[in-house]
Structure 1
Amino acid sequence: MKYYSTNGSSPEMSFREAVIKGLPHDQGLFFPKEIPTLPADFFDRLPSLSLPQTAVEVLQPYVSPDLSPEALRQICEEVFTFQIPLVEVEKDMYALELFHGPTCAFKDVGARFMSRCLQAFTGKDKRVTVLVATSGDTGSAVANGFLGLENIDVVVLYPENGVSPIQEMQFATLGQNISAVAINGTFDDCQRLVKEAFTDPELNKARNLSSANSINVARWLPQMVYYFHAWGQWKKLNSNATEITVSVPSGNFGNLAAGLLARQMGLPVTYFVAATNRNRIVPAYLETGQYSPAPSVATIANAMDVGNPNNFPRIQEMFGANLESLKEVVKGFWADDEEIKGTIKLVHQTTGYPLDPHGAIGYLSLRQLLPELHTPGIFLETAHPAKFKDSMEEVLGQEVPLPEQLKAFLGKQKQVTELPNDFAGLKLLLMQEHKEGTL
């Protein structure tokens, strides 16, 4: 498989080259030159396939020939070691629980897959620095996925006071080959600094940079797997049903882009919902036809506080930048903090199910849209509710217990470098650490 840039002025690259490079030099996004269609018998077998088996069949065309079938199988068996269950919350409404991995967030899938790919592609004599911006869960998933890997350093940029305390503990207390950098700004600022780093020739020559945000194809592509897995579980429960709507809580839009790519491969999802918080750039575009990125707004669903979604160009690429074609498949929805809090409280009271703030938006979108779409619905529970412990306890009025994965980070000492919101400071830090060999 070859990958081209969505901006059209970078050379095509192999999967291996695209993973190591991270971002094309023209600041587009790598996109597969071909989108394979899966055979009908795959969908017949899908309800009985394990997660690793599903992953191998879905991802093989995208990684060949850079990963052999055996190498891909080994990676998938190392990555997909936890359950991703589909849970019925109420009639015709299901939650896909993506929080049973090591850091209790959906990004465990992509981060773990990418770490194994990058380790396979980088030699022992060539050190790589993975630079990643996070609004919460990306940092913890990437840091823990890469922790202790030889010849790979990870630098996590995050907005100071812009992630939950537990999220911060998950990447700021690790040490070893993981460095945490708090930026005096927003997630969009952190994302901009990462892009600037990739276009700085001196820094790239010194640090051999790669990205672990969902702009990297090895982070983005494996997210397709759980959409297929969800459909297989749903068919077990609803063997005669033919249509389904999937609501995706969206911030940077890599998750939704992965679901839409799965649909283009043949996954029979009728509609997707782009469900956002007050950072409603894409829902507004679907409504007005005007795409207008804006400064991000802080909300209770902090992992989705993105005012300039990095992955939206991939969605545009799939639909040929045709708004009407996009609107036939993708429906927009957004909710403010009070609606999110009210939904968490109501669902817990009526069903006992503890929605996290992001999943609550997905649930609420289905409650409002399914009557007109006339299908059952699946919403993605992207993170464990306990990752937002303070907010959840305030809404529910009761303690939210921590799972064992999160308890492990309590009481550890944070190791954080604070920087102003400018590229010069970040470059100086990275160049100094390169010269001193501290990373």
Structure 2
Amino acid sequence: MSFRIKTYIYISALLTFFSCIEPIDIKEINYENYLVVEANLTDQLKKHTIKLSRSFMLNDSVPKYESNANVRIIDNNENTYTFSEVEEGLYESDDIFKAELDNTYTLHINTSDGNEYSSTPEKISGINEIDDITIGKSITAENIEGLKINVISNTEDVNSLYYRYEYDETYKIVAPYWSQFELVPVSREFPFSVTFEVKDYQAKECYKTQKSNTIIQTETTGLDKNNVNFTIRFLEKNDFIISHRYSILVKQYIQSANAYRYFKTLKKLSVSQGAFTQNQPGFIPGNITNNKTSDNRVLGFFEITSYSEKRFFFNYLDMYPNESIDYISDCDFIAPQLTAGLAPPLVSPLINIIDKGDYLYYKINPEPSESAPGLYYLVPKICGDCRVLGSNIKPSFWID
């Protein structure tokens, strides 16, 4: 999970991933250089990753990554899983493996400054697969009309009580004024001239993927059964990202009670309420400690979770027939002249605009006028090239 929120003091670095039922003892401290650990081992058979960084102040623009550390996970059967640094601060397991039910796992970190860190032994708390993703029309308390996406999970496992979610959403973008032709200058000196060329790429349909950037949790402790029917995403009716076709990949993690409390507390501290709220950040004790000294504390929680995911698609017209959403940008046409001026030095407004790259050819101007004197209509690039907003490579999972 990559969820960094800049708040006061070192909490900025920690808010990349976590949250928590009961109150946690939060201690106010001044800024210090703490190790920040992002580690979640799941029951997916894969190479797992662990991120290490350092706490940083609000006015710092980038996190400080922790390099050259020795990272390993050891289970209760004395199996050791080693990790290697694949990029600055990012450590990947050397082999594929997964968290096994009933096994316990402990994280060990040795940093280049000589400090040693370890977590408490952790294990999978419960298992529950996502059964379905549903969508329905809804109106919020603020009278905002839109669509709510719910995740449904049903289980008889009495230990599956605490849930954390992430999602990847992908949406289709259609450039409303794309043309397969482009205007290319031939002569930039008088007499000016341009020619048409066929584009060797398509930029009419693109795709954009973005990840959730907040902590999303629910619990079933107050329910008769551990069944989840939880709204993971609300999309306003006129949100541009649902203009055509939309897909969401919902990721479900079943947490332990301690992990749930930790993430929940972190979420409360990460809510942006302005600079002078009473909700001030402080040190949130996790399950990772420094084995050499209590003064050099560590931020983070080593989490073991069962994992489930499910993908869902829908079209806007399926939900709102005969309706549409305005494009994300204004698309006013211009038609600049090829040659302007009555005496030297003559200039070419059309070629000057083409060279700047802010406008693209769309079509012939059939009736030049005083407001549109040129022979060719141009549109803002964002309206004629969807790559401004996304990628023209269709995702492998995409289904039209």
User: Taking structure 2 as the reference length, what is the TM-score of the superposition?
Assistant: 0.25
Higher helix share: 1
